[in-house]
Amino acid sequence: MTEDGGERSRLIAERAAADRRYNEKLTAVDAAVRPAAPVPPGPAAADARDLSTLEHLSAVVPSEAPPPRGLWRTAVRRIAWEVVGPILQRQQAFNTAIVEQLKQDAKADRAVSAAVAGAVSTNATILRDELEALATFESQLTQYLQQVTPFVDTKMRVLEQAMEELRMSAAAAQRASSAVKREIERLRADGVPAAQPAEAPSEKGPYPFSEDSSEKGYGPLYVGFEDCFRGSPEDIRARLADYASYFAGASDVLDVGCGRGEFLDLLKAAGVRARGIDTNHEMVEICRARGLNVAQADALSYLRAQPDESLGGLLAAQVVEHLEPQYLMQFLETAHRKLRPDALLVLETINPACWVAFFESYIRDITHVRPLHPDTLKYLVVASGFHDVNVQFRAPIEEAGKLERLAAPAGGAAAGANPVAELTRAFNANMDRLNERMFTYLDYAIIAKR
C-alpha cells in the first residue's frame, strides 16, 4: 500500500459509484428504446349503400296511382289527392333535390377520400421509414454508450500504469536527493571539502545474515520500495499500535530493524524509553531527523555489545524473514541473554502458510532470505530458552476476499437422496480447505518472555 493509499481508495470508490450510476442511466436509455408505432389508417370514403337508403326514404309520392276500388272510394281519393297532392309533390321535389345534392357531395367526398388515402399512404410510408430509422439510431446510440466504459477503462489502465511508474521514479529520485543532501551536510560538518570524494558509509544490507557481510545496503532505493509496497508511516503505526501496549511500563526497549521509526513513535507517545537500530543509512537518517534515538548497526553485533539483562524488551517487526538460519539462531540466543527476566520478545513476520501472503508479499521483496513457518519460528524461540511462547495470527483476509461457498439446495433433503446436495457439500468442503490454506492471515507474531 502506498502513502497515498487512502486517497487512492477514495478515488477508486468514487469511480465505482460513478460507473454504477452510468450503468443505471444506460440501462434506462436501453429500456426506453422501442419499435416504431403503427401508423393509423386514413379516413374511410362514404358508402354508396348509405345513399341508396336515403334515396329510398326520400320517396313521398308513389310512382304509380293505386288501382280503383269502387266508385265511392275513388271519388274520395280524388278529392283528397286534389287537396294534399300538390303539397306532397312539392315535398317529393325537395327530397329529390336533396338526394341529388347528397349524391354529388358523396361523389366529391369519395374523390377527396381517395386523394387523402393516397396522401396518407405515401406519408405513412415515409413516416414509418423515419420512425424505423430513429429506432435504429437509438439502438446504435445505446450500443455506442455501452462501449464508452470499456474504452475509458482501457485508457485509464494505461494512464494509471504510467502514473504508477512515474510515482515510483519520483519517490526513488526524492529519496536519492535527500540522501545526497544529508551526506553533503555531514561531509561539511566533518570538514571534508565538497570537491573531495568521500567514501560512502559502510552498510551491510537492510538485515544482513552475518556480522562480516560485505554486502552493501540498498539505501534510498529500499526506502522507496517500502514506501510503495509496505505501507505509509500512518498505516504501519496503525498495524503496530497494539504491540505498544505489551511494553507498557517497560524501559530500554530495542526496536530491531526500526525502519522509518513508526514503532519508536508509538513508544515515545506512550512514555516508554526506547531506541532502534537499522542497517539502512537512509532510514536511520530519517529517524534521527525526527529526534528518535536510532543507530546504524548490525543486529547481532549491536546485541553482543550490550550488557547482559540490560534490555527491557525487544521487537523485530518484519525482520526475521531477512535472516539466514544460522544468523537467526545466534540472534535469538543473544537476545535471550540481553533481555531482563520476564521481558518480552515480539517477532512479527509474513505468514508463509497463507499462500496469498507468500505470493503477494513474501516473494515481492528481494531482500527476503527465507520464509518462516509459524511452527518453525516458535520452535526456535522455545529452543533459545524463552517461555510462555504464543503465536498470534494477524491481518486476517476479509470474507469478501475468500473463495465463495455454494448455497445449500432448497428442500432440505438428505445428501444421499439428493445428488445436487451431495455435490454442493463436496464443493463447499473443498472451498473450505482452500480457504484454510490460501486465505487465512497475512502475518503472525511470536510473543514470548525471557
- Of the chain, the percentage scoring pLDDT greater than 90 comes to 27
pLDDT at 34: 63
Average pLDDT for residues 178-184, to the nearest whole number? 65
Residue with cell 514506501: 227
Lowest mean pLDDT among 114-128, 132-146, 222-236, 431-445: 222-236
Q: How confident is the model at residue 433 (pLDDT cuts 50, 70, 90)?
A: confident
- Which range has the top average pLDDT, 135-144, 200-209, 330-339? 330-339
Q: How confident is the model at residue 61 (pLDDT cuts 50, 70, 90)?
A: low
Q: Is this model's pTM higher than 0.85 or not?
A: no
Average pLDDT for residues 120-146, to the nearest whole number? 78
- From the CB of residue 182, how many other CB atoms can be counted at a distance below 10 Å? 16
Q: How confident is the model at residue 225 (pLDDT cuts 50, 70, 90)?
A: low
Give the residue extent of every domain in the chain. Answer: 1-29, 33-158, 219-449
pLDDT at 278: 92
Average pLDDT for residues 79-97, to the nearest whole number? 76
For residue 447, pLDDT beyond 80: yes
For residue 47, pLDDT beyond 60: no
Say which CATH architecture domain 219-449 belongs to. 3-Layer(aba) Sandwich (3.40)
- From the CB of residue 173, how many other CB atoms can be counted at a distance below 10 Å? 12
pLDDT at 204: 41
- Of the chain, the percentage scoring pLDDT greater than 70 comes to 68
Q: How confident is the model at residue 335 (pLDDT cuts 50, 70, 90)?
A: very high
Average pLDDT for residues 405-427, to the nearest whole number? 73
The overall average pLDDT reported for the chain is 76
pLDDT at 236: 85
Lowest mean pLDDT among 280-294, 297-311, 428-442: 428-442
